[in-house]
């Protein structure tokens, strides 16, 4: 029951959306119809780039001696007939032969063909961020349902892919979430050989380019973590007298089932209305809190360092400008040199495609991380892990915005160097993702909820 609820709140097809007037680009630059025909689509509780949803979920259950694939449309598990579940899982996670195992291990995989045909090589990064969004949602919901939750991003990719019955070339495991207190599982209790069912293709046929495939192969190799020349991340320094104090995060706002099911990206419909300062304070605090929780659950000291910035335009009591969030002080500090042009206007101009009316948002949150990962102890795998954490931050920002009745829209297609310059961000950090937030009007679409 707990597992079923967790899956439904995270990756199930929970809504049906009908757009009777077609899909529009409702930015000031392109207000006309793009797809004038009515459009029907299935939606999930988490945001996804282009609504492609490239994350697949597998459930390894050592106590039940089975591995399942989760079908989000039918909200059901398909037994893959995998033998030797416990032994294979221990080998993949590099555990001792008799190590106890959690009742459930959720394997999150990236199905490349889901967005490769649309985003080409950019799909490698976007898919990792998408999977990080799902990971962040799982962690936030699982912490309330299971006493013991652990996330693992380092494992034997080939063995874990074999457990899930996937090749690793078209779909590959990125993260494992262990749910429940570990229990003893003897080898004699392992699964039996069974005929594996034939699963339907889950994406538009598309083959990775040589660059895409090379990056994936490099990320699958676990480095010994003793690389020479590893560049240390600068220590946080929050000693500054130029502070803009923020009010405490709102304690009367909680995440309920309606928020989880109906969170939606509606940045194309921002109204330009101002937003109270406690909304900004809550989103920043809760986003930092979510990333910190993910660090703790991973139980690894070598994880990505994230910084939060925000471009403010329409926040009561806050002067428009570019700021960095200081979590230990729960305050903003001005960043960059400041400009006469409003930040939202600058961000609108930085978009590669003006499909979102960022200019009428109240503020935009930016997630910054270390840009050059080549000397990281994890090697190329560090980039994949980094983007998972970026996605987790994006998920938290959109979820808490929705909890307060405020619209949000995640963005990745923008000139990051231009945004870095506005904030005055220098080596080794750089902006990786943007979430524009503000009051929004209904989109005109008709939606219905799916009840599981």
Lowest mean per-residue pLDDT among 61-70, 161-170, 222-231, 313-322: 222-231
- Mean pLDDT over all residues of the chain? 86
Query: What value does the mean pLDDT take over residues 170-178?
Result: 96
Burial of 92 (C-beta count, 10 Å sphere; 0-12/13-18/19+): buried
Mean pLDDT (whole number) for 259-267: 70
* Residues 159, 285 within the same domain: no
Express as a percent the part of the chain with pLDDT over 90.
Answer: 62
| 183, 205, 220 - which closes a domain | 220
User: Alpha-carbon distance 443 to 212, whole Å?
Assistant: 36
What pLDDT score was predicted for residue 96?
Answer: 92
pLDDT at 441 over 70: yes
Q: Are residues 6 and 125 in the same domain?
A: yes
Counting Cβ atoms within 10 Å, is residue 358 exposed (0-12), middle (13-18) or buried (19+)? Answer: buried
Q: What confidence tier does 143 reach under pLDDT thresholds 50, 70, 90?
A: confident
Lowest mean pLDDT among 41-50, 91-100, 128-137, 309-318: 41-50
Domain count across the chain: 2
> Across residues 97-102, what is the average pLDDT?
93
Q: Are residues 260 and 131 in the same domain?
A: no
Residue 178 bridge partners (DSSP) = 105, 150
Distance CA 212, CA 207 (A): 9
Residue 177 lies in a domain: yes
The residue assigned the tokens 């005109």 is: 444
Query: In this structure, is residue 414 part of a structural domain?
Result: yes
210 contact partners, CB below 8 Å, separation of at least 6: none
CB 62 within 8 A of CB 86: yes
247 pLDDT band, cuts 50/70/90, is very high
Please tell me the least confidently modeled range out of 30-44, 47-61, 197-211, 295-309.
30-44
Is pLDDT of 141 > 60?
yes
Listed residue (346, 374, 370, 381) closest to 425, CA to CA:
370
Whether 233 is in a domain gets the answer: no
Residue 276 has pLDDT above 90, yes or no: yes
Average of per-residue pLDDT across 195-201: 58
Q: What is the mean pLDDT of residues 99-111?
A: 96
Residue 104 pLDDT exceeds 80: yes
Residue 12: pLDDT over 70:
yes
Model confidence at 192: pLDDT above 80: no
User: Do 107 and 176 meet the contact criterion of CB atoms below 8 Å apart?
Assistant: yes
Tell which wins on pLDDT, 354 or 40: 354
User: Are 348 and 358 a contacting pair, CB within 8 Å?
Assistant: yes
Asked if 195 and 248 sit in the same domain, the reply is no
Looking at residue 194, its pLDDT comes to 55
pLDDT at residue 223 greater than cutoff 70? no
In terms of C-beta distances under 8 Å and separation of at least 24 residues, what long-range contacts does 141-148 make, across chains too? 141/6, 141/9, 141/10, 141/260, 142/6, 142/177, 142/179, 143/293, 143/297, 145/2, 145/5, 145/6, 145/179, 146/2, 146/179, 146/180, 147/180, 147/181, 148/102, 148/178, 148/179, 148/180, 148/181, 148/182
In-domain check, residue 106: yes
Q: Is 328 exposed, middle or buried (0-12, 13-18, 19+ CB in 10 A)?
A: exposed
Cα gap 30→437, rounded to integer Å: 21
pTM (whole model) above 0.85:
yes
Find out whether 131 and 153 touch, Cβ atoms under 8 Å: no
Tell me which residue range forms the domain holding 98: 2-220
Which pLDDT belongs to residue 370?
93
Of 185, 220, 255, the position where a domain reaches its end is 220
3-state secondary structure of 161: helix
Residue 216: inside a domain = yes
In a domain, 451, yes or no: no
Reference 303, options 364, 214, 393; nearest CA is 393
Judge if 97 and 133 occupy the same domain: yes
**Residue 363 pLDDT level (bands cut at 50, 70, 90):** very high
Both 216 and 248 in one domain: the answer is no
Share of the chain above pLDDT 70, in %: 83
What is the pLDDT, as a whole number, of residue 299? 75
Which of 160, 186, 220 is the last residue before a domain boundary? 220
pLDDT at 25 over 60: no
Confidence of residue 237 (pLDDT cuts 50, 70, 90): low
Q: What is the CATH number of the domain that holds 278?
A: 3.40.109.10
pLDDT attached to residue 202: 60
Answer yes or no: are the C-beta atoms of 59 and 75 closer than 8 Å: no
For residue 344, is it within any domain? yes
Residue 226 has a pLDDT of 45
Secondary structure letter of residue 40 according to DSSP: E
User: Residue 329 CB: number of other CB atoms within 10 A?
Assistant: 14
What pLDDT was estimated at residue 26?
Answer: 47
Does residue 71 contact residue 78 with C-beta atoms inside 8 Å? yes
Q: How many CB atoms sit inside 10 A of residue 235's CB?
A: 6
214 and 79 co-located in one domain: yes
Residue 323 scores a pLDDT above 60: yes
* Shared domain check, 384 and 287: yes
Pair 76, 199 in one domain: yes
- Which run of H or of E encompasses 79? strand 76-79
Whether residue 222 has pLDDT greater than 80: no
pLDDT computed for residue 148 by the predictor: 92
The pLDDT of residue 311 is 97
CA 343 – CA 434 distance, rounded (Å): 13
Q: Name the 3-class secondary structure at 229.
A: coil
Query: Are residues 213 and 309 both part of a single domain?
Result: no
Closest by CA position to 355, among listed 26, 8, 2, 16: 26
More confident residue, 237 or 5: 5
In terms of C-beta density within 10 A (0-12 exposed, 13-18 middle, 19 or more buried), how is residue 120 classed?
Answer: middle
The pLDDT-based confidence of 275 (bands split at 50, 70, 90) is very high
Identify whether 117 is part of a domain. Answer: yes
pLDDT interval class at 228 (50, 70, 90): very low
Same domain, 179 and 46: yes
- Does residue 268 share a domain with residue 206? no
Q: Which of 15-24, 169-178, 197-206 has the highest mean pLDDT?
A: 169-178
Coil/strand/helix, residue 370: strand
Q: Which SS3 state, helix, strand or coil, does residue 160 take? A: helix
């Amino acid at each position: 029951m707990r597992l079923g609820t967790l899956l439904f709140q995270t990756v199930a097809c929970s809504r049906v959306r009908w757009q009777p007037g077609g899909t529009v680009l409702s930015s000031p630059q392109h207000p006309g119809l793009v797809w004038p025909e009515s459009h029907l689509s299935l939606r999930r509780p988490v945001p996804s780039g282009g609504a492609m949803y490239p994350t697949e979920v597998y459930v390894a259950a050592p106590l039940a001696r089975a591995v399942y694939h989760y079908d989000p449309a039918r909200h059901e598990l398909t037994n893959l007939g995998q033998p030797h579940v416990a032994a294979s899982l221990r080998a993949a996670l590099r555990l001792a032969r008799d190590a106890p195992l959690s009742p459930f291990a959720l394997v999150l995989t990236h199905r490349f063909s889901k967005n490769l045909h649309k985003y080409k090589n950019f799909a490698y990064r976007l898919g990792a961020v998408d999977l990080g969004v799902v990971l962040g949602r799982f962690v936030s919901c699982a912490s309330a349902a299971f006493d013991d939750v652990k996330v693992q991003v380092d494992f034997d990719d080939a063995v874990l892919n074999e457990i899930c019955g996937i090749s690793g070339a078209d779909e590959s495991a990125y993260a494992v979430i262990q749910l429940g207190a570990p229990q003893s599982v003897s080898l004699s209790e392992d699964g039996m050989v069974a005929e594996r069912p034939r699963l339907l293709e889950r994406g538009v046929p598309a083959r990775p380019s040589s660059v895409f495939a090379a990056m994936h192969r490099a990320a699958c190799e676990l480095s010994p973590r003793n690389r020479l020349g590893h560049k240390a991340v600068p220590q946080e320094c929050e000693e500054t007298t130029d502070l803009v104090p923020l009010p405490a995060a709102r304690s009367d706002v909680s995440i309920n089932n309606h928020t989880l099911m109906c969170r939606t990206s509606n940045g194309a419909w921002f109204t330009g209305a101002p937003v109270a300062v406690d909304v900004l304070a809550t989103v920043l605090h809760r986003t930092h809190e979510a990333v910190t929780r993910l660090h703790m659950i991973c139980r690894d000291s070598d994880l990505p360092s994230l910084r939060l910035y925000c471009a403010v335009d329409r926040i009561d009591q806050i002067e428009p400008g570019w700021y960095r969030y200081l979590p230990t002080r729960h305050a903003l500090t001005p960043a960059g040199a400041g400009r006469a042009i409003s930040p939202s206007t600058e961000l609108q101009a930085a978009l590669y495609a003006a499909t979102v009316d960022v200019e009428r948002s109240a503020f935009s949150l930016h997630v910054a991380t270390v840009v050059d990962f080549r000397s990281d102890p994890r090697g190329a795998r560090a980039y994949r892990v980094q983007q998972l954490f970026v996605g987790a931050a994006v998920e938290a920002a959109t979820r808490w915005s929705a909890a307060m009745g405020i619209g949000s829209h995640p963005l990745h297609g923008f000139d990051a160097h231009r945004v870095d310059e506005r904030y005055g961000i220098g080596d080794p950090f750089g902006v990786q993702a943007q979430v524009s937030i503000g009051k929004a009007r209904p989109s005109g679409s008709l939606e219905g909820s799916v009840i599981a």
